[in-house]
Structure 1
Amino acid sequence: MSDRPPKPPRQERWDHRMETPLAVASLAFLTGYAVRVLARHGLPQAWLDLCLAVTVAAWALFAVDYAVRLRVSGLRPLRFVRAHLLDTVVLVLPLLRPLRMVTLYDRVQRRRDKPRLGLYARVMLYAGMSVALLGFAGALTVYHHEADAPGATILTFGDAIWWTCATLATVGYGDVAPVTPLGRVTAVGMMACGLALLGAVTGSFSSWLVQSFTREDDKRPPGASPGAS
């Protein structure tokens, strides 16, 4: 049983109404931030200011959605935070805001009577989407703060992508590493997310294998050896 309290009808209506706007805001946030970071030396200041305005507006929409859901939930603030921990973290940490697109896909799948993919396939798909979005956002964040830092080894966006892949995979070659405080904080968060996502995929794949072998054993006639044809 889940510890999360059932949603009041008003909150369900609000969540349904805000699914698409929040997904669009997530995409707009990631696009605006990417353009502002990758083209900061080639775009006029007016365009950079526009990208900044888009990212701030997307964050403001997240904040409004969070405040409304807190109000219509009927819960006390502390209990609401505990019941919606991921939403709270996404609101506070810009790096995780693109993951809103994954939650939208999950809600769409849940509304169907019979999802196209099985449970284990959905877990691996969600983990893959999360890794791609988190990795891209993390690479942007690290490149933004490291490229011009004294003594930095992450000098290009390609370096940032390589570092992100090594960090999320928990390999950590050490050939490039962040030197700024914010870059290192981002690294710690990505290490934790990488371990969690890797554990989710590995656990789901292992469970799928066990269930597949169990079904094969159940279909085998009594007394037959596992290697019998």
Structure 2
Amino acid sequence: MDDDSTQARWERRIEIPLAVASLVFLASYAVLVLGHGLPAAAREACLATMLAAWAVFGVDYVVRWRLSGQGLRFIPTHWLDTLVLALPLLRPVRIVKAYDAVQRRHGQPRLPLYGRVVVYAGLSVTLIGFAGALAVYQVEHTAPNATILTFGDSVWWACSTLATVGYGDVTPVTPMGRTIAVGLMGCGLALLGAVTGSFSSWLLEVFSREGDERPPGN
């Protein structure tokens, strides 16, 4: 039976608007970072759009906090919402949470557990990688002795970092760039572990099912 509490109703209503706000935030940030020749008015418009999206997340966070009645316990129990509010570049991850909300709203069948893990991990790594590449490019491409000079360099670096390969041909040289790198490394390890664990569990389940179906004596 679906939860019909006030908090659950609020979360169902706000989930899609939050996903849209996440996309708008990421798009505005991308334009701000990559649009080197933007006039001042356009840059101010991008900043205003990003702040508006941040305000939407702030209002949602406060409303959920008040409706939960948990006090300070709300922060650790809703760690993703807390991270999204504190670290703006993680906002696109909220799009992953909207996946189930869209399926439930339209009555579409949900993917099996292993399929959902792969889909969520794929969406997460794409969104986090793109946001991380933007952030690193912003702080690195004008730094002295920088090796990440173009957005293409930044995307290549983000892919190798998330894949835990780390070729070392391009590396961040600024403190902020290295801080972002540490975050991407952690995300890459977590997502890789989730996919690997899910795939291993699926294989074990398949082999176990095949063993159960095998005739006795074979």
What TM-score does the superposition give when structure 1 sets the normalisation length?
0.90
Alignment of 1:144-223 (within 5 A): 144-223=138-217
Counterpart of 1:55, as a letter, is M
Residue among 58, 65, 71 paired with 2:53: 58
Runs of 5+ unmatched residues, structure 1 = 1-6, 225-229
> Which whole-Å CA distance do the structure 2 matches of 1:37 and 1:26 have between them?
16
Alignment of 1:93-104 (within 5 A): 93-104=87-98
Residue of structure 2 equivalent to 1:27? 23
CA RMSD between the two structures: 1.7
> Which whole-Å CA distance do the structure 2 matches of 1:76 and 1:85 have between them?
14
More helix as a share of residues: 2
Residue among 111, 114, 117 paired with 1:117: 111
Identity among equivalent positions (%) equals: 66
Residue of structure 1 equivalent to 2:12? 16
- Deviation of residue 115 (structure 1)? 3.0
- Deviation of residue 16 (structure 1)? 1.1
Post-superposition, which runs of at least 4 consecutive aligned residues in structure 1 deviate over 6 A?
A: 111-114
> Which whole-Å CA distance do the structure 2 matches of 1:36 and 1:9 have between them?
40
Q: Classify the secondary structure of the residue corresponding to 2:33.
A: helix
> Which whole-Å CA distance do the structure 1 matches of 2:30 and 2:108 have between them?
36
- Deviation of residue 113 (structure 1)? 7.2
Alignment of 1:70-109 (within 5 A): 70-77=65-72, 79-109=73-103
> Which whole-Å CA distance do the structure 2 matches of 1:116 and 1:63 have between them?
30
> Which whole-Å CA distance do the structure 2 matches of 1:94 and 1:116 have between them?
29
Residue of structure 1 equivalent to 2:124? 130
- Deviation of residue 114 (structure 1)? 7.2
> Which whole-Å CA distance do the structure 1 matches of 2:143 and 2:4 have between them?
49
> Which whole-Å CA distance do the structure 2 matches of 1:106 and 1:174 have between them?
38
- Deviation of residue 90 (structure 1)? 1.1
Q: Which moved more, 1:114-123 or 1:183-192?
A: 114-123
Q: Which moved more, 1:92-101 or 1:195-204?
A: 92-101
- Deviation of residue 121 (structure 1)? 0.7
TM-superposition CA deviations, 1:36-66 (whole Å, max 9, x none): 1111x22211111111111111111101100
Residue of structure 1 equivalent to 2:137? 143
Runs of 5+ unmatched residues, structure 2 = none
